[in-house]
Amino acid sequence: MKAAAPQQILTADQMRASEQRLIDQGETVESLMERAGAGAADWVWRLSAGRPVTVLCGSGNNGGDGYVIARLLEQRGVAVSVVAPMGPKTDAAVTARKRWAGTPVDFASGEVFVDCLFGTGLARPLSDDLLAKLTQLSDAHALSVAIDLPSGVDSDTGECLNDELPHYALTVALGAWKRAHWLMPACAAMGSRHLFDIGVGAVENAVQLTQRPCLSAPARDAHKYSRGLVTIIGGEMPGAAILAAKAAQHAGAGYVKLLAPHSHPDLPADIVLDENEDMSPALDDKRLGALLIGPGLGRSEKARQKLRQALASSAPLVLDADALTLLSPDMLGDGAAAHLATPHEGELASLCEAFGISANGKLEEARALHEATGLTVLAKGSDNILVGSSGIRFFPPTSPWLSTAGTGDVLAGIAASRVASGCTPFLAAQQAVQIHAEAARIAGPVFSASDLVDALPRAYAAFL
Ligand SMILES: NC(=O)C1=CN([C@@H]2O[C@H](COP(=O)(O)OP(=O)(O)OC[C@H]3O[C@@H](n4cnc5c(N)ncnc54)[C@H](OP(=O)(O)O)[C@@H]3O)[C@@H](O)[C@H]2O)[C@@H](O)CC1
Ligand SMILES: [K+]
């Protein structure tokens, strides 16, 4: 087996298969549970700092982890209560229960609550009784910790199967990240997340957490065209296209051109305005690195014609905003693989409708759209999912302050800039999300989309 790959994100089935591979190599479920429980107990120990701990144990191996945690914390002198609404059912959990010398109680209050009710084996929503137990215990403690996953969360989709599940200060993922650790709405309630490695090897075709980008300064002999020419096709609302153009400029492109019918007072002097009604000369420019179409385009027939013409050019496209609403199957030719689409949830839904896709949830919709069109799809929002021919990437959470008008235009401008600088759409999207996220971090709270653009050079510098 290949070396451990801490960035991979597994489904519950992939996790079970990985566990089986480890068992085939000589491990036992008990030995894995001991290792996982010890890693989790360390995290709870650090957080509890000697204060009393209550562990809620379910019937499966997540509950088994709980008995291991209880035993190991007691060995360190921590006062531990265990609440076990149902007895252990798996062999490993029965063994773990036997090795813990205590007697479960019905309820306990205290400082740290550890949720070991269900992990990847959750098969349906919690019953009212179990939900009440979980929430009352969480409410009765200062801090809650989820072991592997918060109970009530679907491991593969990030869906919360019950309303009003607890919020956690810490979630300790065991063996590998699960999809829910990176998907909304589940990940929003997990607090800080940590992975404890138990020796799971690399799994083929697993979703990966995107890597930190590694950007570079221009070469000594660079010129504006070698750094990338981005052309933005403007439309009815010039503001959005100008915002995207400024973002493209500050994300590394050497030359940014805006195709628009007339000038605008907000247009900086260093963004070249091309007022030619006929877009052909600009689109046929062999130096063109990337075309961006959508921000401020409008949805008129004229806008649709511009989109058709852009798609007929040989340049790689970034399709955003109105372009995504106008896009239809007859417009896409063989070159779709070179293009990046950056839909938010509403645009993704309308694209799925236009392409006759019926899929459940953002990840499945993005995947189906990629498969139907060949486009690289960045399904953006409070979680970001990228699907392309190189696989699927998830992203660390981004600032909730990004939920303001114009930030999508900025993201599209950055993505176009990265494509123009020579990245594949798949890599450009990964870099764009992270440069955008870093700019948001730098901008701090309550920023505008223009503030975000101003923060881009420092965000870029963070990845040099
Ligand atoms: N993989 C690894 O390498 C390692 C995994 N480890 C740990 O194992 C965890 C996975 O364990 P698991 O598969 O036993 O599942 P788990 O989440 O404990 O629950 C299953 C039980 O719950 C039941 N049940 C389900 N839903 C229910 C509901 N709503 N209400 C009531 N009951 C419900 C279901 O019974 P059912 O009624 O569906 O037959 C079954 O009895 C994983 O998250 C990690 O913590 C580590 O120990 C070691 C290394
Ligand atoms: K849990």
Ligand 1 pocket residue status of 36, Cβ below 6 Å: yes
To test the pocket of ligand 1, the residue of 120, 128, 161 to mutate (highest count of ligand atoms within 8 Å of its CB) is 120
Q: How many angstroms does the Cα of residue 160 sit away from the middle of ligand 1?
A: 16
Q: Is 79 exposed, middle or buried (0-12, 13-18, 19+ CB in 10 A)?
A: middle
Ligand 1 pocket residue status of 33, Cβ below 6 Å: yes
Has 379 been labeled as part of a binding site? no
Looking up tokens 């990845």 gives 463
Has 378 been labeled as part of a binding site? no
Which atom of ligand 1 is closest in space to residue 65's alpha carbon? 47
Domains recognised in the chain with CATH numbers: 8-207 (3.40.50.10260), 224-462 (3.40.1190.20)
Question: Angle CA(437)–CA(438)–CA(440) in degrees, nearest 5?
Answer: 65
Amino acid at 219: A
Cross-strand bridge partners of residue 145: 114, 170
Has 151 been labeled as part of a binding site? yes
Q: How many angstroms does the Cα of residue 84 sit away from the middle of ligand 2?
A: 13
Q: How many angstroms does the Cα of residue 151 sit away from the middle of ligand 1?
A: 10
Contact 342, 378 (CB under 8 A): yes
Q: How many angstroms does the Cα of residue 123 sit away from the middle of ligand 1?
A: 8
Cβ-proximal residues to 69 (8 Å cutoff; 6+ apart), any chain: 37, 40, 41, 44, 55, 114, 116, 147
What does the pLDDT read at residue 335? 85
What does the pLDDT read at residue 2? 46
Which residue's alpha carbon is nearest to atom 47 within ligand 1? 33
Question: Angle CA(197)–CA(198)–CA(201) in degrees, nearest 5?
Answer: 85
What does the pLDDT read at residue 333? 83
Looking up tokens 């590694």 gives 214
Ligand 1 pocket residue status of 64, Cβ below 6 Å: yes
User: What ligand has the least distance to the C-alpha of 21?
Assistant: 1
What does the pLDDT read at residue 191? 97
Q: How many angstroms does the Cα of residue 114 sit away from the middle of ligand 2?
A: 8
Has 124 been labeled as part of a binding site? yes
Ligand 1 pocket residue status of 85, Cβ below 6 Å: no
Ligand 1 pocket residue status of 65, Cβ below 6 Å: yes
Q: How many angstroms does the Cα of residue 91 sit away from the middle of ligand 1?
A: 12
Other beta carbons within 10 angstroms of residue 142's beta carbon come to: 12
b/e code 248-266 from CB counts within 10 Å (16+ = b): bbbbbbbbbbbbbeeeeee
User: What ligand has the least distance to the C-alpha of 60?
Assistant: 1
Q: How many angstroms does the Cα of residue 119 sit away from the middle of ligand 1?
A: 5
Ligand 1 pocket residue status of 101, Cβ below 6 Å: no
Has 13 been labeled as part of a binding site? no
Q: Which parts of the chain register pLDDT below 50?
A: 1-4
